[in-house]
Structure 1
Amino acid sequence: MELRQIGGIDAPLTDDSIGGEAGDDVIRLSDSFGNDTIVGGETSETLGDTLDLSGLTTNVTVDLTDANAESGTVSDGTSTAEFAEIENIILGGGRDTVVLADGSGAHTVQGFSMYHSGDGTTVDQLDVSGLTSDGGTTPINTADVTVTDTNGDGTGDAILTFTGGESITLVGVLSSALDSADELEAIGIPAVPLNYIVEGTTGDDNIVAGYAGDPEGDRVDAGDNLANNNDDLIHAGDGDDTVESGGGNDIVIAGAGDDIVDGEGGDDSLVGGSGHDNLTGRIGNDTLLGGEGDDWLFGEEDDDYVDGGDGNDFITGDQGSDMLIGGSGDDTIFSMFEGDGDDTVVGGETGETTGDVIDYTYMTANHVLTYTGEEAGTITTDTHNLNFVEIESIQLGEGNDTVIGSTGSQNVSTGTGADVVAGGAGDDIFDIGADDGAQDTVVLADDDGNDTISGFEAPVYDPVTDTYTGHDQVDVSGLTDAKGALVNVHDVTVSDDGSGNAVLTFPNGESLTLNQVAPVDLATPAQLAAIGIPMPNFIVDGTAGDDLIDANYIGDPEGDMIDAGDSFGRNDEDRVYAGKGNDTVFGGADNDTINGQAGDDSLHGGSGDDSILGGEGNDVIYGDTSGGSTDELLADGSFEGFKPSLFSQGDSLPDWYSWNNGSPDVSEKGGYEVPWSNTAAPTDGTNYVTLVKSPDDRYGEGISQDLATPLVAGTSYTIKLDAAVGEATNSAPLGEPTFVLIYGNPMAGIVGGEPEGWTTDDIPDGAVLLGSAEITTDFNSGTMETVTITFTPTVDIATLSITLADSEVSEVNNAALILDNISLTEATSDDTLDGGAGDDMIYGGTGDDTFIVSGGNDTIGDFNTGNTGALDDGDQSNNDLVDLSDYYDNIFDLRADQADDGVLNHSNTDVDYSGKVALGGANTLTLTGVDAQDLTFDNTNVTCFTTGTTIRTPDGDRLIETLRVGDLVNTADNGPQPIRWIGMRRLDEKALSAAENLRPVLIDAHVLGNTKPLIVSQQHGMLIEGDKLARAKHLAETLPSVRIMQGKKSVCYVHLMFDTHQIIFAENAATESFYPGPMALKALDQDARAELFTLFPDLQDSMACKAYAQRARPFVGRKALKATTSDLTGNVQSNIRPQGQQHSAIAAE
């Protein structure tokens, strides 16, 4: 090899020409070279000729654009050396530029410096501005370069090949140093022109800030888009890509594959494409489109639009007001977290198997879920609102949530917390959270469907207290029975659904299936009450307002109603507490208890023996409906009418009809003749009616009467009639039972014959059986029996009808029923009436009523009008009664107070009312229309004694005024003995003043073993020390606690006499019975003596005491009694007990 040097540092600048000739020559240029011409030669070469520029320190340009690959120029800007037949070039020490152009061939360059110059480029550069990618118009860029190496394995020298076939080999540069667009740009190859799309590859790309895989060099957040900002458009392409779009309002199209895309900041649009993508919007108003596949979409902050697309997606809007769309498939829409805004959710309806879900599992706020239609509704909190449609089920969170259903079928899991669910109509499914430690409530209402509940906690039994404690509850306050009353435990049927789960069924078909709760856990009323279904308290409660409480009232919290058969005895004996307000109460049928409580009330007991308390306020009280009445409700001669002109003209009677083809028979006025009887029936001077039933008829002939005033539903009535029965075909007595039947019909005007379409087995439309009675008196006997039938219609009755027999009662052959004297009255009832506080107006109505005085200026408007017995027969049960014994010492004081001004007010100045409850001022009683003499012990309970004295009997202690002749009284010696005679003498103030010996003696309580103070006559004998009698007046002289009552203004002595003299017990003190001695007989009034002599005729003899019997005990005299030094108190009965009676008893004089 020949080495030749052109130029030199010290050489003059000359233009040289040098030829290498044969062999591998190296020709060096040094600084100060001229416009030289260099020819390397072409013969005898192995490696070829080399142009060595390493000696140059200046920047030179090596132009290799000539079509001959071994030709070119080297220029330092001053001189240009031309070379030919040069195979290798070694670059110099300056910053050299190698120029290539189309058609320049294949070149090899050594010494290409890859050191960075500090501006992002290398020291040495390629100038490829003459190269085009299409042979003449389009400059090449980094995308048009293929980088290989001389060894083909990355260890050789880098070879850059361009699209036109041109190439350059950079000796000493590895291909790995030029395997990126950035590195190619650094050596001078222009970058690909930007398309403003950050593009991924078909592989699994990680497209984040700094990603350099885009063919055009587009970057994330590089400010290299058309607007020179960070709003990037990213196409990730195929593969499972990860994309972080950074700041700016980016658009990311993830493409195929399971991609993870994070929008980071800005208002981003993220499109998942196919595959199972995970898209997160983060800050900004983002749009997320899941596309195909089961995607996870997170809108996060701000107002986002999220659409899951196809597949079973999981979507959340998080904070902000979001539009969330599930799309096709079973979407777990939408896991909401705290801080949600006002969202709109559309679940989608296609491609579903189990349906879409709104999931609030991690929420702790209290939500109100309200369904507005099928799969549609709202969910709200204090700070969040959500509207949804096309959602099949909802999962709530940890708060105390409320669910309000609609007509559709809902499926909701309420999670933990004390939740309330009300499904509404439709068959709903709720999971209220098992063992969540909170009390959940299931609300039912009328017309709800058949709901299923999971997670319901059954009541727990405590064997110590024998009670059940409920946890979860059922609220049935909106659920009523068929009558409109609120349901209670007795309205619930508990059954098994076939899988061991309890089913609670309510009266109108609503039901509740409680999964995992066994029927046995809710089998009793106590268990049902423990879960919130009310026990009936058997009280019809009013409200605080002005209530109308009648058979239609449904305001009671436990569902109790008037006359609904739901009382404690499962009958119509109702208890009513009207509450506050000015209430109107109708007790209806049966024996009711009514308390008007506060307010000015109008209280009607209705039929039955009612107890009525007015309570506070000025009340009006009626024992019977509207005060009751004993008036005859049928006109005289009803059902009897007049004689038809012909036997068959029964239909001409305007208020009659026949229930079969026959006609009732009417006797001639003034008498009656039974057609088939040999003996005339009795007559009362008016017509009789005969009804006949043949064997072919289900019902006999019937008669009907339109009523002038319809009968009122709920009111009791009594129908009385005289009746006799017999065989219609002969005179033999009737062998089978025959019944008279009373029917009623709400419709009036059913007259004459049979309505069109009837058969002989029919009864009139709407007719209801009111009552019946068997008739046993044969008309051949010449007598009739009186039959009484009491009934309470459930509907108003305008027409009353009578027939005989009934297929359900008996099948009677050829019967004839004779009727007369038919009457109809409102049934009597024995009521208890208490006006309570306030000025009350009270009416007992019919029956023997009891009135209670309890304050205020009360008036009883019909006292004594309903009595069924005499006022002086000693029977308090057969007349009206008002107990005035606390207000008056005796009947005389009571009568005097009534007589002076017609008001019981203690206004009579001649009477001493001390020691009694005061009347007057705001506490008076007026008995309208009652004469003073009509007040007796029977109707006032005021006796002739200051207080009622009790007598010991085998049946216990009885007031002396209640004893009757024949009653048994316990005796000390002879066991129970019957009373043979009772005497009574009343003495007023005048009589007592005229005869001091008639004044009574008062024995204080406990003096002689008596449990209460005891009043006796002065001559009455009291047993002392077990074996002797002492007269009361002598005891008054001896004992300080026994005295003669000098101030007593009246007294009534009651005498009990037996077959023999007895020791009996009055107020537990041993005392003598009446002994008919001379003084005792003299003390009796004339009528009493006459009655006594009638019973004991021998007593009229002067030796009366001998004729009667000897005394039960001897009497001790006054002196002997005074000489007794022992304390008599408490010892007098130490050895005396009544025979036949072991327990303590009381007695009275």
Structure 2
Amino acid sequence: MARIPGTSGNDNLSGDQNGAPENDTIEGFAGNDTLRGLGGADSVLGGDGGDYLEGNDGNDTLRGGLGNDQIRGGEGADSLFGDEGNDYLIGNAGNDVISGGAGIDLVLGNEGDDNIDGGAGVDDIYGGIGNDTIAGGADNDLILGDAGNDSLSGGDGNDKISGGGDSDLIYGNAGSDTLSGDAGNDEIFGGAGDDSINGGSGNDRTGGQEGNDYIDVGEGDDIGFANSQTGFLYTNNGGEGDDTMYGRGGSDVLSGDDGADQIYGGDGDDSVLAGGQGYYGEYGLIGGAGTDTVVGEGGNDLVIGGTEADSVDGGTGNDFIVGGSYNPNGSAKNTHVADSATDTLTGGDGFDTFLAETGDIITDFNNATGGDANNGDIAAGTGQGDNDFVDLSGYYNQANLEEINAQRVAAGQSPYGNPLQWMRADQADGTLNDLTALGQDFTFTIRNGGSAVQGSELTWDNTNVICFAADTRIAIASGRDCAAVDLSVGDMVVTQDCGCQPVRWVGKRHLDARTLADNPHLAPIRIRAGALGAGLPVADLMVSPQHRMLVRSKIAQRMFGAMEVLVAAKQLCQVEGIDVATDMTEVTYVHLLFDDHQIITANGAASESLHTGRQAMRSVGDAALDEILTLFPELRDGAERPTARLCASGRMGRKLAVRHVQNRKPLLQ
């Protein structure tokens, strides 16, 4: 090991003076020196002046001292210190430790996993190949991670940082920084200051943190966070990927662009834009707290305004639009937290679904976006389609109808015949608000093209408010009754012969006024309360003409040899209180199918479930028939399944009804 001292002049010194690699200590002292370590683990000290230091082979320590120095590490894991002055430091190969020190430094890590600190001054730092850890230090630094999984930190000052290739971790820290992840799956956080962040390609996680930040999450499936103040959060223009963005506090601007994006505005007055493809799923586009503007643009979007008075626009596509707070995964059923603010909801083109809240306004409720509003189409999973949709059945239903009718009768007014008739009458002045008379806080405005939607344009198809048949009460296992329209596959229903049985299939068929006018034989049969005898049904019952009711009497015993028989409803119209409901302008029929034909209880009266006979199968439609045959493939052979009771023919059913009338006997004894 040799100590090689210089002088106060301009020295040119090299190690290994004995011809073999040694661990030398080379000191330049004052002057502009050229010092080379050559082989071995050398310690090279430049001292004062503008020095050139070179470590070459071995794990060297090179220190520039005062002055503007150029320092090259060479091969090995070197330690380079620029100290004071505007220095040029190059690590070359090996895992180097480099410190720029004070001054305006240019630092190149080159190959290896380098640890670089720019120190004070405006530094340019390039990590090169390898997994580098770089800190810019104070002042405005330029940092490029280059190849490798780098950890980059700007420190104080307005820094410009690029990750380069691979997956990088980038912190802007204090100052207004410009941060770019470039390629790879990067994590980028702005820190304090007004930062500009671009995730680049790859699946990135970006966060603005403090300050008013601009964030472009870039291409890929990204997650972006704004900050607690004001942020601008965008995906790359034309960039693809399914992005998740959070505005947090402040007044944020969030834009999704292409891809199935999930965007949450958070607190503050936010503008949320979905972009091209849109998203329909767990969270979607959420304004959060504050007075927000949320726009779905293209795609099938889930658009949520959040709390306070929001403007919500679904844009093109089939959108689900909510003015208040909404969590699809909050419980077994969707969790919806209503607010009292007046939200403005715009669906745009497409088949849009709105969630009703008090005070809200729908601006463009298209009752037939692609077809007839009353066509009765059965959309997958909903039972309604080809139109905008808002579910008002939670407000306009049989329970509330009974209360409102009680008030009307007390005031000398005629009662409404069904929930749909009531809702249409309430819409006559352009605002749905009758429920306020029941002490319920609900007002709702439905418009299209600047004018209120006519009451006649509100149907079961677009509001889920039923007429009669769908609201028939079916006895279920819990001991209570359930509306037929609310039953689902798997629900346990009370049967007369087999105890509680699970529903295997539920079908709905809606008939509008035009369909009923063209097909009068499909008009429902109304069985008024008590018309069957023994006080049954307990409330008016609406059934399809071919739907069979149970008749229990001695007359049936004499005619058929059985006390109980099933008779189609239309064959019973000779009986007082049973007739064709010619006043009905539309109706929804609900079909319930079990493993076997069953006798169930509807509005207290015994009635049949759907029987898979030829006539019944013709009545359900092709799509429903395909579903049934999938559940029960043995029916494809055309074999008739047994019925729960003997079924009277049309002629014999009419004859049975006539004999009951002639003998003044009820159908149920």
TM-score, normalised with respect to structure 1: 0.29
Larger helix proportion of the pair: 2
TM-score, normalised with respect to structure 2: 0.46
Higher Cα radius of gyration: 1
